[in-house]
Structure 1
Amino acid sequence: MKLTEQIFNRLDGPADLTDGALVATYDATLTAIAGIRHATKTPDATPSLDKVGATWPALKGQDKVEGASGWICLDDNGNPWNKAMPIARLTFDRSGAKPDLLTVAWPTGEPPAGSCTPPPPS
């Protein structure tokens, strides 16, 4: 499935898929919700910020976040690992800039495996 199809299928209704701020905000919100859920022992509890932050390394493998921009897998330090990067070309006309998605690239050269598990720290 193409990145744009993934984004469209994750949103409820039509959205401007060229809006990078929309995609980033959506993904950040999903990641925050996943961290809060991992840090909450009971449905009525409110976890501390420290507890939520301590859950970031758990957001990988089966607990990866399925964001609008693709999988979000965090390493042992809570940093994104092998995150998809869209490669776009901007063309300009009288109505302004229009991005064309050319491809998607990953830091390791290929998408993460289904396990979405970063390698151990070296």
Structure 2
Amino acid sequence: MVYFAGRGRDLPAFLESLAKRNCRNSSLMVLSGDDTSQVLQADGFKNVKDSLKTGNIRLVYTGLAHPGAWTEERKDFFDQKAISSFGGDGNFKKISRDGELEDGQAIMGYDAVCVAVRAIKLTAPQGNFQRDSVMQNLTGLNETNAVHGASGYISVTNNGSPMDKAIPLIEIKKDGSTKTLDVVSGGGKGAPYTLPK
């Protein structure tokens, strides 16, 4: 296994070099971060697919969001109403030019708006809609005030970090398609945050 900590734009050249290695008979997994999702639209994506085909390489990355995470066996990690916006009859396909969700950008944009709206709603009873008041309420987005995001529930700790955020592990296949392999969390318990029962 090789951990690639570079930018997505450098990934095509990196994989091309690995595909020409002497030990191609041994399989190799490249694990990378969320910037890898940007390679899906990059000019070098054909090179990535070619390298995966010829180099005996698997490419897996940690995504910010991915529609493949919304499977039945993982449904407890996601609010069904939030993800319905992106489903068959959801608004996303009606207003989107390309309807693509693979890079996670539309899902994360949706969640960013949900976070801002929730923080503003927490500020409303105080009657002070100044930026500082809204920012201060961001740390109150936890437990019963957790945001029901399409990328998973967003519960923020006192220092502003997400608590057990859902992280999809995504593989880019040899044909260029993507597949969510699992949904994990970096919070120590391995499973993403779910609402308290």
Q: Verify same fold: TM over 0.5.
A: yes
Q: Share of identical aligned residues, percent? A: 26
What is the aligned-residue RMSD (CA, Å)?
Answer: 2.4
In structure 2, list runs of 5 or more residues that go unmatched: 1-67, 72-79, 94-98
* Structure number with higher helix proportion: 2
What is the SS of the residue equivalent to 1:22? helix
Greater Rg, structure 1 or structure 2? Answer: 2
Q: Quick one: which of 21, 27, 30 aligns to 2:105?
A: 21
1:38 alignment counterpart: 122
Q: Does 1:112 align with 2:193?
A: yes
2:48 is the counterpart of 1:48:
no
1:58 match: 140
Paired position in structure 1 for 2:158: 76
Separation (CA, whole Å) in 2 of partners of 1:8 and 1:62: 19
Q: Distance in 1 between the 2:160 and 2:85 partners?
A: 23
Report the counterpart of residue 120 of structure 1 in structure 2.
none
2:150 and 2:170 map into 1 onto residues whose CA distance is 17
Stretches (4+) displaced over 4 A: none
Q: 3-state DSSP class of the match of 2:196?
A: coil
Shift of 1:114: 2.7
**Structure 1 residues 99 and 112: alpha-carbon distance in aligned structure 2, compared to 1, 3 A threshold:** same
Contact 2:107 2:151 in 1 (8 A): yes
Write the distance in 2 (CA, Å) between the matches of 1:64 and 1:47.
20
Asked if the contact 2:170–2:181 (Cα under 8 Å) also holds between the matched residues in 1, the reply is yes
Change in Cα spacing, 1:4 to 1:16, as seen in structure 2 (3 Å) is: farther
State the TM-score, normalizing by the size of structure 2: 0.49
TM-score normalised according to structure 1 size: 0.76
SS in 1 for 2:114: helix
Which residue number in structure 1 is paired with residue 84 of structure 2? Answer: 9
